[in-house]
Structure 1
């Protein structure tokens, strides 16, 4: 079968021929219908050799959707032909954290060498992929796999980030979304679907600001120092109740820290080097700062249900497997609208 693999440190990924895998006991073989490209992939491929820990060659793609093609011994919960999405952050399934469905925080995954597809295990940018356990598959019904596959990260990650803040996002409150890209445009929609707050989006470039308005932002502002005063003005001087930073560099986390009020939330979602200094004289009283990772299995079921109801949708651009390297080039150049999806 054909697969997109990262084969050498510092070199672009390439399409190669590799053997089609067969499912072992407890495993599921999927015929891949769609695979999502993510900034996390770009981050991994930018790491120097002394920091890279994902194995080579690596079949990319931690966002996956497909049709069940074959079942390993002992798998009775699924039927061949079922359309599914893949829950990516695999855990052991039996530690205290995994038993809550939060396998992204598995207590023993690192020790046991359990890694997500596309981030250590073979990923979804191939004609077929192995999923280690049936619990990591979520039926998608008649959802278009191209639209469904980004839900496994671009939908799940902002959902997990936003959900704990929902009790604070009451009518009259304001949430700020920094970055209206692949995850941010989903964050805007999730906030509008699940709360009554005002949503303010920050980004650079009128195209991104227009995109933010299209997907539901009440206001869209340039992401620079002027945004702090603009948010204060929009909120009558009070500031934001929650800021969701989908960029995560120091410039954006610094903005977040300046535009919140007491008892607010700052949630750093983007994979960057940004941080917020928390202390009695640095952040408003009882400000909570979180840096969540991915999401839980139950939450992926909820995100899929939101999409099936029509409350959220993912903007996508599709690429063939041969075109997949150019998807990462477009991502790096920030010319993608929404998410890039590879269709094998």
Structure 2
């Protein structure tokens, strides 16, 4: 691909790391007639690197500065965007993230970023390690943050799916509410071991026994917060079964299943939400937590030539945390 030339207000980024996400797999599998993008198209919406060139009128950064890129690019003018909530831009057709929508992403040597407002300084963090924080970290943080007020002493939070996002959610839960008991659920024994190292208090194999154990440890009440990072029928069913009255059930995973909601399930007045990504101020929080050593993404590096192999491993469930493509080693 040709190296982009930054226009007015734009920034050219030398890519250090571009995370490989399950959302990319969905794009790869979209039938030709249903694509919202044209080929050739560059994937990569979890991006971090170093400022290469500032376009005319762009200020606030210098070449060589390590930065991470906020992903959901909105219009910048609506009420939500003006509050930094560009993930919920009110303009039709927005947000349009690079690597997910109509513009090329970061799995290339260089990435064109439309505005400096999407760049967050990384300080001492390595862009190759930090790249997934812009989605896996931010999405998990946003999902947890909405429920923090429920997580006082004696509370329980259940994380269903201990992959990249689930691992981050466990760390965020411990960072924002050390008093809560965090329960990790997965079908993989290896991922449950990783969940333990990330701070989970209990690790359970997915299934009916896990539901019973959660009910037992919560005295039959269920968990205040249930986060489903898978989103398939069995996990949503389990999430509803372990929900608590006046609790929160948050669907983060893109498994494309549906959660039946009626008078008896989930628990009475349990709030069900399906959030998307997070805000610019929240990404600043995520970077601050990472700089303080409170959260850290488990990453596996792949050179650009091995990107297809990284996606194959991701598809087969063989990536322990997050695969990161490194175009500029």
Give TM class, smaller chain.
Answer: over 0.9
Cα 1:210–1:261 change in 2 (3 A) is same
Structure 1: tracts of 5 or more residues without a match: 1-17
Look up the match of 1:56.
Answer: 39
Give the number of equivalent residue pairs: 325
Question: What is the DSSP-based 3-state SS (H/G/I as helix, E as strand, rest coil) of the residue aligned with 1:270?
Answer: coil
Q: CA deviation at 1:109?
A: 4.8
User: Contact 2:241–2:265 (CA<8 Å) still a contact in 1?
Assistant: no
Structure 2: tracts of 5 or more residues without a match: none
Look up the match of 1:176.
Answer: 158
Which aligned pairs between 1:199-210 and structure 2 lie closer than 5 A? 199-210=182-193
CA offset digits 1:184-220 (Å, max 9, x no partner): 0000000011112100000012111111111111001
Which aligned pairs between 1:1-344 and structure 2 lie closer than 5 A? 18-110=1-93, 115-120=96-101, 121-195=103-177, 196-344=179-327
- Work out the CA distance in 1 between the residues paired with 2:83 and 2:274: 19
TM-score, structure 1 normalization: 0.92
- Work out the CA distance in 1 between the residues paired with 2:152 and 2:208: 27
- Work out the CA distance in 1 between the residues paired with 2:239 and 2:253: 13
Question: What is the DSSP-based 3-state SS (H/G/I as helix, E as strand, rest coil) of the residue aligned with 1:130?
Answer: strand
CA offset digits 1:116-135 (Å, max 9, x no partner): 11012111110011000000
CA offset digits 1:105-148 (Å, max 9, x no partner): 111150xx662110121111100110000000000011011221
- Work out the CA distance in 2 between the residues paired with 1:135 and 1:97: 14
Give the aligned CA root-mean-square deviation in angstroms. 1.1
Question: What is the DSSP-based 3-state SS (H/G/I as helix, E as strand, rest coil) of the residue aligned with 2:12?
Answer: strand
TM-score, structure 2 normalization: 0.96
Question: What is the DSSP-based 3-state SS (H/G/I as helix, E as strand, rest coil) of the residue aligned with 2:159?
Answer: strand
Q: CA deviation at 1:58?
A: 1.1
User: Contact 2:18–2:131 (CA<8 Å) still a contact in 1?
Assistant: yes
Question: What is the DSSP-based 3-state SS (H/G/I as helix, E as strand, rest coil) of the residue aligned with 1:170?
Answer: coil
- Work out the CA distance in 2 between the residues paired with 1:283 and 1:310: 36
